[in-house]
Structure 1
Amino acid sequence: MLASGVAAGIFAGIAFGGDWRRLSTFTLKLWPVLVIALALRAIGTVVPSSPLELYLVSLLGVAVVAAWNWRVPGAVLLAFGTFLNLAVAVLNSGMPYDAATVAAVAAQPPNDGLHVPVGPATRLEFLSDVIPVAPIRSVFSLGDFLVGLGGFLIPFMWLQPAAAAMRGGDLRSPNFAFFWMGQAISRFGDPITLIALTYVTYRATQSALLTALAVLTATIPNALFGFFGGAVADAIGHRRVMLWCDILRAIVLAVVP
């Protein structure tokens, strides 16, 4: 997932107006550790019978380098996802995978020293390879998705030009006043929408569990994308991001029966 995320981040960064020449200026602290970790993982790919310790050292190396470079946008997600995978692999003497899910997406069962089938004694099963991605016939863990997202953001954000600083006079602009009023109204409506969602869900289902799940589903995007949403807006453009997000939100709310 890391390699795929990085490749997608480079492609998207250039597509959104980034300068590919900025890649030559990218630096990472402890980069030799990352090179060694990736080399160990490559050995594990070429030699499937490699011991589990090789994979664990590789994961640890990637996690340490990502955590050490936490100021780089996307590095925290990369570190967190890698640490999740590492913790699950250590607790279960391997990375568990759900054989039924693998068969459901017609994927090949893992045949290496890292993966082990999910069993009754599996710990933190929800963090194992249990998330199917049918279009590419693969099964991933939550940590894998975080690793891929972090790997995407690192080159994507690096390729974007630096955002211009706001001048003091901009705050007194009539356009800013209209923008502020519009956002205030929008922010006032958000909690009302959440309250209405809670009420309608409970009236329709009479289920506390489904109501809680509905509220959780509505709040997860803010909790998840809030970590890097500002950085993405800086890279793509504040006005463009706000405009399209509000348009998409209006469309989604409009189609709710």
Structure 2
Amino acid sequence: MTIHGLLLLIAPPALGVIVGYACGGRLASLRNLRLSALWLLWLAALVQAAQYYVTPLRHPALLAVVFGLVLWWLALNLPAWPLAIRIAGVAITVGALANGLTIALNGRMPYEPATAEAVGLRPGLTTPKNEPADHATRLAFLGDTIPVPPLRKVVSPGDLLIGTGTVALTALAMRRRRDRPDPPPRPVTGGDT
């Protein structure tokens, strides 16, 4: 993984923390969000990292394993979250499903060669995770078609949903609950009936 890819991975939660603080939230409030089976996310991250460093694991089918683990984790956690946070979780889920479907239909995530070239990447390059789109590519519009010039990356609509959902989920989970003080008790008088 390149430094630009790492920045793209870290940017959504970091931006979520900034937005969370700007909205009066606190990092400590993240503890209030019920998270179970975190081992699924760690396993997904491990499989994803292994694809970069272990040659026999550079098979596109392992991306399905990564998506499956993340979706499993979301399915376990979404029902327990408050509505606004659940909506952010649904955005992440829809983004993951869009990416997963595109990869399943093509074997790898297709990218637009002209867009890749526009951000300074080598067009026509096939990697363990990506391949250039061509006339036979299915759902090419859901592939990596959106340029991110500062990071020299091309992302998909699904990546945008995942990133936006991550920002929103983090910021909403940080939001401090503003407990309203109880109204003062009404005095009880003998004439009230």
Query: In which range does the TM-score fall when normalised by the shorter chain?
Result: 0.7 to 0.9
Shift of 1:116: 1.2
Partner of 2:77: 69
Partner of 2:110: 96
Contact 1:67 1:75 in 2 (8 A): no
SS at match of 1:69: helix
Q: Does 1:83 align with 2:94?
A: no
Contact 1:63 1:78 in 2 (8 A): no
Any stretches of 5+ residues in structure 1 without a counterpart?
A: 168-257
How high is the sequence identity, in percent, across the aligned residues? 31
SS at match of 1:83: helix
Any stretches of 5+ residues in structure 2 without a counterpart?
A: 1-7, 183-193
SS at match of 2:114: helix
Q: Does 1:124 align with 2:132?
A: no
Query: TM-score, normalised to structure 1's length?
Result: 0.58
Partner of 1:143: 158
Give per-residue Cα distances to partners, 1:73-117, cap 9 Å, x unaligned: 111111110011000000001110111110012135665311111
Q: Does 1:43 align with 2:50?
A: yes
Partner of 2:188: none
Distance 2:15 2:52 in 1: 21
Q: Which has the higher contact order (CA 8 A, sep 6+)?
A: 2
Report the count of equivalent residues.
166
Partner of 1:4: 11
- 1:73-222 alignment to 2 at 5 Å? 73=85, 74-108=88-122, 112-163=127-178
Query: TM-score, normalised to structure 2's length?
Result: 0.76
Distance 1:121 1:156 in 2: 40
SS at match of 1:86: helix
